[in-house]
Amino acid sequence: MQFAISSQARFANQDNPQAHYEGTGPEIMRQTAGQITHFVSSMGTTGTSMGCSRYFKEVKPEVEIVGLQPAEGAQIPGIRRWPKEYLPSIFDEEGIFAGMSSGGAVSASLKIAAEAPGRVVVCIVCDRGDRYLSTGVFDPPPPAHHSCYYKNLDLTLSQHRKALPEDMPLFMLFTAPWCPDCTTTLPIVNEIFTGQGAGANFSLLRCIVGKTREEWKDPRHPFRSDTRWGPNGLSEIPTLACLGTASSPLVQPRVLSGLEKIDREQVRFKVESFLKEQG
């Protein structure tokens, strides 16, 4: 028996973006130690961009997603612009999609990286791209929210405070992309802080405690002896801490632990209760 599979099926196959949501996105977070700021990909089926961008929106919403397509009138073999009426059905998110093919992705990445020292830009180079797509740009997250790597915490915290209104309360979530409990907690915390609920008027700084579990578990990790986060330092993730306001930081931050191994509703209840207690 022979089966014929339409080439159009790949544009509607939900396993395509799901594979990048479960695999490519987390791998990028691990390899960049959570410091990625921009994600650049040429657009064919849009599966890579859709899967990765959905993951980044949950784990680090401020990552900017840049998609590439040929310029109007460009003649690139095997590639053409997508008319709106022929968008792949798996394309269901918003973003900046502009440019050329894989070479365009590299070119755009170099320009983005050159605009500001210290950017961590990830570029996906496809083996080939038949069709590309352009629709817009992901809305950037509120400027009150940011992420950093633990080795840069004090510098990032100092700069972050300067950018905030003086009376804005500042919170920090200690997290890691490889941690299952963090994967449960982070989207809920992001939603609380970016929505209209208890954390709507607060600032959130997410601190990634290690590129790998081994790095975090190392007894020499500086957070182990940092008594700002408790008498015995920071011992578990995810952990949420209230740092006071931008102009009046607490010498001893207030810490919410116990977010490990509980379900989503329990996480939401504990975090919202903690925020209400902080005023």
Instruction: Give the tens place of pLDDT for each residue, 5-57.
Output: 445 566 678 888 899 999 999 899 888 888 888 999 877 778 888 899 989 98
Average pLDDT on 231-241 reads 92
- Give the mean pLDDT of the chain: 78
Cα 122 to chain centroid distance, Å, stands at 12
163 vs 277, residue with greater confidence: 277
- Rounded to two decimals, the pTM is 0.53
Tokens linked to 179: 């941690």
In the chain, what percentage of residues exceed pLDDT 90? 23
> Burial code of 183-206, b = ≥16 C-beta within 10 A, e = fewer?
bbbbbbbbebbbeeebbeebbbbb
pLDDT in tens, 104-145: 777 788 888 888 878 888 877 665 444 443 433 333 444 456
| Residue 91 pLDDT exceeds 60 | no
pLDDT given for residue 130 in this prediction: 46
pLDDT given for residue 196 in this prediction: 52
Lowest mean pLDDT among 51-55, 69-73, 189-193, 267-271: 69-73
Q: How confident is the model at residue 237 (pLDDT cuts 50, 70, 90)?
A: very high
Average pLDDT on 197-202 reads 65
Q: Cis omega before residue 238 (within 30°)?
A: yes
pLDDT given for residue 143 in this prediction: 47
pLDDT given for residue 133 in this prediction: 39
pLDDT given for residue 126 in this prediction: 65
Tokens linked to 65: 């997603």
**C-alpha–C-alpha distance, residues 105 and 39, integer Å:** 10
Q: How confident is the model at residue 75 (pLDDT cuts 50, 70, 90)?
A: low
pLDDT given for residue 135 in this prediction: 34
| Residue 94 pLDDT exceeds 80 | no
Contacts of 267 (CB under 8 A, 6+ apart): 184, 185, 188, 189, 259
